Amino acid sequence: MPEKVELEVPLMLAPVPVVLVASAHEEFGQNVLTIAWCGVDCSDPPTIHVSIRPSRHSHRMIKESEVFTVNFPTSDLLRAVDFCGTVSGSLGDKFGPAGLTPVAAKEVKAPLIAECPVNIECIVRDIIPLGLHDMFLGEIVASHADKAVVKEGWVDFSKIPLISFVNGEYWSIGEKIGDFGCVVEKT
């Protein structure tokens, strides 16, 4: 059995998905922010979360508008992803300089990002202060995918080179190694 050592940094969940969270606000316009603190929370109603520091420009925009979109970038968008995570939207438009195209969503005022093959529209159902970040629980009210990545009504993620975040670095997600329940003997 391998010897275990205690880590100095207790935060250890990796990899985590990298997404682009878009928002819209009557006063501030549109914004996009790179987030790696996100995940699925419930299947009925379909709910996901994104965690954002209150000091971020997008935090106020999402808190006041009560909507956001989650957009799945691909590895070819890495420059845009890094830009949107390191430059504040309070300085001006990030869509143009990042080479991203905001498009109207179906159910919410926050835009979808055309270059991302999967987009999810959310309504804020709760905001939970956690410390350095606040968790925005978003009920999914619509989801979209490029036709080229849809197979039998589901997104075929083998066609999408997604990005993950591991210890301050961007990584690509590897190959499929099995199906859910593939190891359990069925009786």
How many independent structural domains does the chain possess?
1
Residue 2 lies in a domain: no
**Structural domain span for residue 86:** 16-172
pLDDT of residue 167: 85
Residue 92 lies in a domain: yes
Residue 37 lies in a domain: yes
Residue 153 carries which DSSP code? T
Residue 134 lies in a domain: yes
Instruction: Find the Cα–Cα–Cα–Cα dihedral 67, 73, 79, 81, rounded to 10°.
Output: 30
166 and 15 Cβ atoms separated by less than 8 Å: yes
Residue 182 lies in a domain: no
Residue 106 lies in a domain: yes
- Token duo for residue 121: 């529209």
Prediction pTM value: 0.92
Alpha-carbon gap, residue 123 to 69, rounded angstroms: 9
Give pLDDT tens digits for 25-61: 999 999 999 999 999 999 999 999 999 999 999 999 9
Closest of 97, 99, 93 to residue 74, by C-alpha:
99
Among 97-101, 117-121, 182-186, the range scoring the smallest mean pLDDT is 182-186
Residue 181 lies in a domain: no
